[in-house]
Amino acid sequence: MPDQLIFAMEVTLNGLMAGVLYALVALGFVLIYKASGIFNYAQGVMALFAALTLVGIMEGQVPFSHLINAIFGTDVHHFSWSVPALGAILLTMAVMVFLAWAVNKIIFRHLVNQEPIILFMATIGLAYFMEGFGDMMWGSDIKKLDVGLPQGLNMVIDETTYGMFGYGFFIDNLDLIATVIAILLVSVLVIFSQYTKQGRAMRAVADDHQAALSVGVSLNFIWVMVWSLAGFVALVAGIMWGTKSGVQFSLSLIALKALPVLMLGGFTSIPGAIVGGLIIGVGEKLFEFLMGPIVGGATENWFAYVLALIFLVFRPQGLFGEKIIERV
């Protein structure tokens, strides 16, 4: 087999793995959009905030330590304990649920029946608030996150492919784990929305508020639940990305990578988010591999957006999105 083809296969595999991570972030958007019609600009910041909180809890960091020290002239940084990863993940989830409740209580329940653009702007405000709040609570330095996920070269794949092609593929264990987790997460979400009472109620709210109320569904409960779910997805994405590249501000920018994924997959489709993520992941890696040397590299910065734009022209509702037909 020609080398070029073998490299391309490796690149494709790596692209698939990266795509899974994009899909994870995109999923958070889709969930909220489906259930409440809100495009949640803050989804990326939520991932950052979740990762910051997780690290902070694990390391026994004192929240708001800068503020406390500035006011009281103290010098506190850490408690004397640290929390094991699983416990810290559960605690972080509790924080995300509280956040969901607060966001609904303080902001969105007052904006029922408002124009989508107003809701969107509210999420922009929320994003910047949470960014600053996260900073104040946990500090702005880059943090290492290690919840015990395996990382580095996967030997099995390396050796198998070496045996087959005389060239070992480099696949990161973390990416493999991310893929498995993403598949699990999506399965659980699909089962949840199709077969449980709360899932049915969620779909009802997404479809028609008045009708949902008339069959006894509490909009507030469902919204808090959906924001909690989005917080959960953000936590998973935050763990994956944070483990990969450290917990830092740029984490919130992965949200921007989710945008082309959504344009491709459609804002209302869970399978769309996944397939869209995979297409973007593979597309951008392959394009860089094939065309990068010709056009001078760094195509990964823009390829996804151009692909999404081209797509938008031909299929504005996305791959799986519902066709939009104006009723006249």
The answer to whether residues 227 and 103 touch, using CB atoms and an 8 Å cutoff, is: yes
Contact status: 197 vs other proteins (CB under 8 A): yes
One DSSP character per residue, 170-238 reads --BHHHHHHHHHHHHHHHHHHHHHHHSHHHHHHHHHHH-HHHHHHTT--HHHHHHHHHHHHHHHHHHHH
The answer to whether residues 264 and 308 touch, using CB atoms and an 8 Å cutoff, is: yes
Contact status: 195 vs other proteins (CB under 8 A): yes
Contact status: 203 vs other proteins (CB under 8 A): yes
Residue 200 Cβ vs other proteins, minimum distance, rounded to whole Å: 6
CA angle 314/318/320 to nearest 5° reads 130
Comparing CB distances to other proteins, the nearer of 80 and 210 is: 210
**Stretch (H or E) spanning 282:** helix 270-295
By rule CB under 8 A, what string of x and - marks binding of each residue 164-193 to other proteins?
Answer: ------------------------x--xx-
Distances (CA, A) of 243 to 149, 173, 261: 8, 12, 22
Which of 66, 77, 200, 244 is close enough to bind other proteins by CB under 8 A?
200
Comparing CB distances to other proteins, the nearer of 196 and 245 is: 196
One DSSP character per residue, 42-98 reads THHHHHHHHHHHHHHHHTTBPTTHHHHHHHH-----B-S----HHHHHHHHHHHHHH
Only segment of 40-48, 69-77, 98-106, 209-217 that touches other proteins (CB under 8 A)? 209-217
Only segment of 69-77, 177-185, 204-212, 288-296 that touches other proteins (CB under 8 A)? 204-212
Only segment of 6-14, 20-28, 213-221, 311-319 that touches other proteins (CB under 8 A)? 213-221
How far from each other are the two terminal CA atoms of the chain, in whole angstroms? 58
List the interface residues with other proteins, window 214-233 (CB under 8 A).
Answer: 214-219
Distance CA 107, CA 17 (A): 36
Contact status: 70 vs other proteins (CB under 8 A): no
Only segment of 86-94, 200-208, 240-248, 249-257 that touches other proteins (CB under 8 A)? 200-208
Comparing CB distances to other proteins, the nearer of 43 and 269 is: 269
Contact status: 208 vs other proteins (CB under 8 A): yes
One DSSP character per residue, 293-305 reads HHHTS-GGGTHHH
Contact status: 211 vs other proteins (CB under 8 A): yes
Only segment of 98-106, 178-186, 196-204, 281-289 that touches other proteins (CB under 8 A)? 196-204
The residue ranges that bind other proteins (CB under 8 A) are 188, 191-192, 195-198, 200-201, 203-204, 206-208, 210-219, 322
